[in-house]
Amino acid sequence: MLPEPDLALCRALAADLTDAGFWSDALRAAWGDTADTAIARGLRSPAVRALGARRDPLAVLGRLFVLGMPQPRSSVTSALPRTGVDGLARLGLAVSVDDDVIPQAIIRPQSFADDRGAGQWWIASDLDEAALGAALPEDHVLGVGGASLTLAALQLPTRAARALDVGAGCGIQALRARRDVAHVVATDVSEAALRFTRLNALLNDVPDVETRRGSLFAPVEGEQFDRVVSNPPFVITPRADGVPAYEYRDGGMQGDDLVAAFVSGVGAHLAPGGVAQLLGNWESRPGEQGIDRARAWVAASPVPLDAWVVERESLDPLSYAELWIRDGGTLAGTPEFAALVDAWLDDFSARGVTEVGFGYVLLRRPAAGRPSLHRYERLTHALDPRTALGSHYAAALAAHDRLAALDDEALAASVLVVAADVTEARHHLPGVESPSVIELRQGGGFARTITVDPGLAALVGACDGDLPVGVLVEAIASLLEVDAVELRGELLPSVRELVFAGFLRFDD
C-alpha cells in the first residue's frame, strides 16, 4: 500500500513531470498511435520498440510509469532532478534495487476537455497486468479505463457546493467533479484506493478533496450533497469459491443488488435539486427486462426521484462472463478461464438471467413538488467519444423543467429554433416524388435519429426564431389542408420531445 502522500514531494514530482513534457500527446507522438492503442489492450512491446534506445526524460518516464518497466537509476535521477529516486520511494511509486529503479505504481497522463476548456491530469494507480506479468490481485486499484472516461464526460458541468464520489478508486471522478464543485467527499472501501485518490489530488494540485473509508453511503450518514457521482463496483460476480472478488469492480453483493442498493438509497443523500449520476449493470430475467428492474429500484426509493436511465448495451451471459474474466487478466483457453466461465454461467442460471444491460443512470431529487421526469430508454448506437454528454444532460434537464411549467397554450406561444447540429434526410422510392421516410438526425448529444411525418418536418424546418409554434402549426395545417386544432394536438407532444432531446431550443 502507498504511504500517506507527501505534499512537497508531490509538488516536486509534478514539476519534474512538467519539465519532462510527460503528457499524453507527447507520449503518443513518441511511440505512435498504434502502440498507444496497444497499451490500452495490455501490450507493451510496440511502444518499447518505438522508443528504441532513447534515454531522454520523456522516454525514461514513459517506460517507468506508463509501461511499468524498470529503468536505470542514473536515467531516473536525471529525469526527476527534484524528486529523485529516494523521493519516488518515499511516495511508494518505485523502489531502487542495485542500479535499477523498479516501478511500484503506474502514472499515466490523461487529457480531458469540458465546458471550462482542455487540460491534463497525471493519474497514479496500481501496476497493471502487463507490468505484473500475471493476473491482477483482488485489491488492485484500477487506473483510468473506458468506463471512468465515460462517467467523467457525463458529469454535469454546472456549479455546485458539495459533491460525493462513491467508490472513488484512483480518484478520477473526484478530480472531474472538482472542476465544477467547491468541495468533494470521496469514499471507498479500500484504503489503498483512497491513498491513490489523495496522491492524485496532490499531484494535480486539486484542493478540497476529502476522503473517507466505508461502503456505499455509510461514511456520509445523515449528510446531503448537490452532486453524487459513482462508478461503483457494479460488475456481476459469482459468489463462489475460486472466483476473484476484485475490489475495484465487485461490491460483494449478488447479481445487480449493489446498483439496486445505490439507486434506492441515494435519494436520502441528495439535497433538494441534487443530481446523482452513475454507471451500472442490470439483469434481464424471464418476463422482466433489466431496464424495468431499474425502474423498480427508482420506485423503491423512499425519497421520490426524477429518473433518466439509458441502456447503452446488453450482453448475453457468456459474453458478459468472458468480458470480465479477461478484464481480470486470466487468459482465454486456459483451464482457469474455463472454470471461471462455468462459475459465471452457473450463477446466471440460478437466477434465470437471459442478458445483462449496461448503461447510464441520472437521478434527481426535485427541488420542489413531485418527480416529473420518468425516462427509460435504450440507445445502443455508437456515439462520438468527443461528444460532451454532460452539457447535453444539463441542457436536457433545463429544457424538461421549462417544458414542465408550460401548458400547451404556453408552448404554442413559444418561439423555437432548430439546433445547429440537426440535419434532415428524406428517403424516396424510385420514381416517387413524395418521400416515404423523413428523418431528423442529431450530430451532438445522443446522436438520435427520429422519424417524422411531413407535418412535423415542416414545423421543424420553419422554426427559425421568427414565429411562435402555434402560428406555424396553423400555416402548416392550411398548406396540408387539415384541421389546425387536430394538427396542433398531434404535433405539440412531439415538439416537447424534440426540445428535450435537443433538436429544438427556445429562442431567448
- In the chain, where the domains are located: 7-105, 159-402, 405-506
CB of 417 closer than 8 Å to CB of 507: yes
296 HSE (CA, 13 A, CB side): 12
- pLDDT for res 167: 94
- What is the mean pLDDT, run by run of 10 residues, along the chain of 508 residues? 94 98 96 92 92 96 97 97 97 96 96 84 92 82 89 95 96 96 96 97 98 96 97 87 80 86 96 97 94 96 98 96 86 89 94 96 96 97 86 97 97 97 94 90 96 96 96 96 95 98 96
Q: Which amino acid is present at 92?
A: G
- pLDDT for res 460: 97
Whole-Å CA distances, 251 to 248, 256, 260, 292: 8, 10, 12, 22
Q: Take residue 52 and report the three cell numbers written for it.
A: 528504441
CATH number listed for the domain at residues 405-506: 3.90.930
The vertex-411 CA angle with 408 and 415, nearest 5°, equals: 160
- Cβ contacts of residue 439 below 8 Å, gap of 6+? 424, 425, 426, 427, 449, 450, 451, 452
Q: Take residue 475 and report the three cell numbers written for it.
A: 400555416
- pLDDT for res 21: 97
Burial environment of residue 476 by CB neighbours within 10 A (0 to 12, 13 to 18, 19 or more): buried
- Beta pairing partners, 449: 441
pTM of the full predicted structure?
Answer: 0.94
For residues 255 and 233, give the distance between their C-alpha atoms in angstroms, rounded to a whole number: 12
- pLDDT for res 135: 77
For residues 14 and 479, give the distance between their C-alpha atoms in angstroms, rounded to a whole number: 66
Length of the chain in terms of residues written: 508
For residues 335 and 333, give the distance between their C-alpha atoms in angstroms, rounded to a whole number: 7
CB of 169 closer than 8 Å to CB of 142: yes
What is the phi-psi region of residue 11: left when phi exceeds 0, alpha when psi lies from -120 to 50, beta otherwise?
alpha
Q: Which three-class secondary structure state does DSSP give residue 467?
A: strand
Which CATH fold would you assign to the domain 159-402?
Answer: Rossmann fold (3.40.50)
